[in-house]
Amino acid sequence: MGFGLVIKNLTPWIENSDTLFNKPKKRVPVMATHLEGMTGSQSTADEFRGKKVVDREGIQYGKVKHIHINSETLEVSGITVHEGFHKDYYLSRDYIDKFTEESVLLGTPPVRRDSAVVDIDGHKMGKIKKLHRNLDTNELESIEVSTGLLHSQVFSKNEIWGVGEKVILRLPKDQYKKSD
């Protein structure tokens, strides 16, 4: 009878030893479901990966691959746009009008490599082979247009009349040939 009493008395002690006897109590950290100090107009950069990049005419230029942040001002300095297989390019903040929940809206359409170039009358001039940019500001200075198998022609940014699905030059095609 004495032996049964010992077993009955030890059972609760063994079962509850982890929670009742001389264990320091720890607070379990709880993850916040709402980040304090974050307003409704703030988003994380991760939220924009894969979002469409679209201009005012509805032309889609690709999807956001990276958002670039100026390390001194902590402001968005630009985005890398992924257009397809090995077709990534950088757009500075100057091109971006607005970030929405579904896309990045461009205020100004970008001039891109491989874009078709036409004269003011819509006649085909070629495709953009190379973009010449200022090394300090990254601002476009001129475009090099492939005009044939072995030929190309350089046009300054002042010769560009408009940008959309195609880059439109200011003068008719025959006037560019005369100026060479």
- pLDDT of res. 65: 92
The per-residue pLDDT for range 72-108, each reduced to its tens digit, is 988 888 888 888 777 788 888 888 898 888 889 998 8
Give the tokens for residue 18.
């982890």
The per-residue pLDDT for range 9-31, each reduced to its tens digit, is 555 555 555 555 555 555 555 44
What DSSP string describes the chain? -HHHHHHHHHHHHHHTHHHHSSPPP-PPP---SS-TT--TT---GGGGTT-EEEETT--EEEEEEEEEE-TTT-SEEEEEEE-STT-EEEEEGGGEEEE-SSEEEESSPPP-TT-EEE-TTS-EEEEEEEEEE-TTT--EEEEEEE-SSS-EEEEEGGGEEEESSEEEESS-HHHHHHT-
Give the tokens for residue 173.
């095609």
Taking all residues of the chain, what is their mean pLDDT, rounded to a whole number? 78
Answer whether residue 127 shows pLDDT above 90.
Answer: yes
Report, as an integer, the average pLDDT of 56-74.
88
Amino acid at 50: G
Q: Which one is predicted more confidently, 60 or 135? A: 60
Structural domains in the chain plus CATH codes: 45-106 (2.30.30.240), 116-178 (2.30.30.240)
Answer whether residue 118 shows pLDDT above 90.
Answer: yes
- Prediction pTM value: 0.60
